[in-house]
């Protein structure tokens, strides 16, 4: 799903999401490029108590693409396997 990044940031804040980070997701998303300027996308992860969403964004073009949504339990398992800690 393609969206405006400014709208995504507002939606995430209004829905109680915070910034989160998964290194595996970052690697998978940052290999994609913006369809407008062809620069590599930046990874942005957002989480709340039940859901995690991974986006690829180009702030220059205000482009955002949601790559996937996962449950917080699945993300916790991924972090455990990757030995990463939660970001609040």
What's the total number of domains in the chain? 1
Domain that holds residue 24: 2-82
Asked whether residue 16 is assigned to any structural domain, the reply reads yes
Residue 62 belongs to some domain of the structure: yes
The pLDDT mean for the chain works out to: 91
Domain presence at residue 87: no
* Residue 70, domain member (yes or no): yes
- Strands of 63-71's sheet, edge to edge? 2-4, 63-71, 51-58, 42-47, 18-20
Instruction: Quickly count helices (H) and strands (E) in the chain.
Output: 3, 5
Q: How far is CA 44 from the centre of its chain?
A: 3
Given a cut of 70, whether residue 86 has pLDDT beyond it is: no
Q: What does the pLDDT average to over 13-40?
A: 95
């Amino acid at each position: 799903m393609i969206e405006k990044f400014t709208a995504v940031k507002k939606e995430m804040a209004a829905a109680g999401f915070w910034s989160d980070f998964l290194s595996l997701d970052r690697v998978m998303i940052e290999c994609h490029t913006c369809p407008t300027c062809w620069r590599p996308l930046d990874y942005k992860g957002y989480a709340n108590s039940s859901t995690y969403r991974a986006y690829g964004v180009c702030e220059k073009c205000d482009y955002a693409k949601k790559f996937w949504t996962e449950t917080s339990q699945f993300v916790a398992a991924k972090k455990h396997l990757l030995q990463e800690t939660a970001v609040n």
